[in-house]
Amino acid sequence: MKPIAIIQHVSLDGPEFFLDCLNEQGIPSVVFHVYADDPLPPDVSAFSGIASFGGPMSVNDADVHWWISPEIALLAEAVRMRVPVIGHCLGGQLLAKALGAVVRKTEVPEIGWTDLQACDQNIAAEWFGGRRSIRMFEWHSDTFEMPEGARLLLSSAWCARQAFEYDGIHLGMQFHSEVKAPMIRQWLKVGYQDIEAHDVPSVMSAAAIDASLDAGMPASHAVARDIYARWLQGVMWRQVGQVAQATA
């Protein structure tokens, strides 16, 4: 099986629980640390899927970060070749941009646990283990518009576009399904100013976030398992198709 390409943009936002799920199933992966000047994958066809993760920068900061424009082009090529893409927060915004959608500042940021509602019951059954609502961790101040041809999966009270599916195999998410408690505690140490700068209901206090993590993670990981299992179906469909072509 070809490996999953994992694109990590900052040292404090890695694949975490996503990588745990891959390793449990023996699915190979290669991590590209672009923050340490690793080159991006040169050929999307060498991979069975591409997973893009988060970061504090905006997809509109291409003049500041060398990898933003090339990664957008890489994800667009993956979509064209039907190599499944999954994007987490910034990664979801990069996927939306690759599909031609606008990414812009939100009216209010979301930091902490956020309640998300599925847009219809069929979507909930397909991607979220039948759950009509889920509670996931968020830390973002940008949001994506809906790409043309995409299907909206989730919304929240403060951000209408929380996740989308494209072509049945690509998934863009505004939230962080990959997180574990120790990583978020690191975010609180370096990003507490983002929290202190906003007194709005969509932003939890650092103390409240810290106190909630151990109790909140099991449910978050249960949802993440269902999300990743559904996304990996597309990866496996691609593998079966390639084998069939090779033996035809």
Neighbours of 210 (CB within 10 A): 14
Place of tokens 């978050």: 220
Determine the Cα angle at 48 with ends 46 and 50, to 5°: 95
> Which among 178, 191, 120, 182 is positioned nearest to 153, based on CA atoms?
120
Determine the Cα angle at 223 with ends 175 and 199, to 5°: 35
> Which among 85, 86, 94 is positioned nearest to 58, based on CA atoms?
94
Candidate list 9, 88, 89, 159, residue with the active-site label: 89
d(CA 158, CA 18): 26
Place of tokens 């593998």: 239
9 as an active site residue: the answer is no
**72 residue type, one letter:** I
176 as an active site residue: the answer is yes
The residues that are catalytic are 89, 176, 178
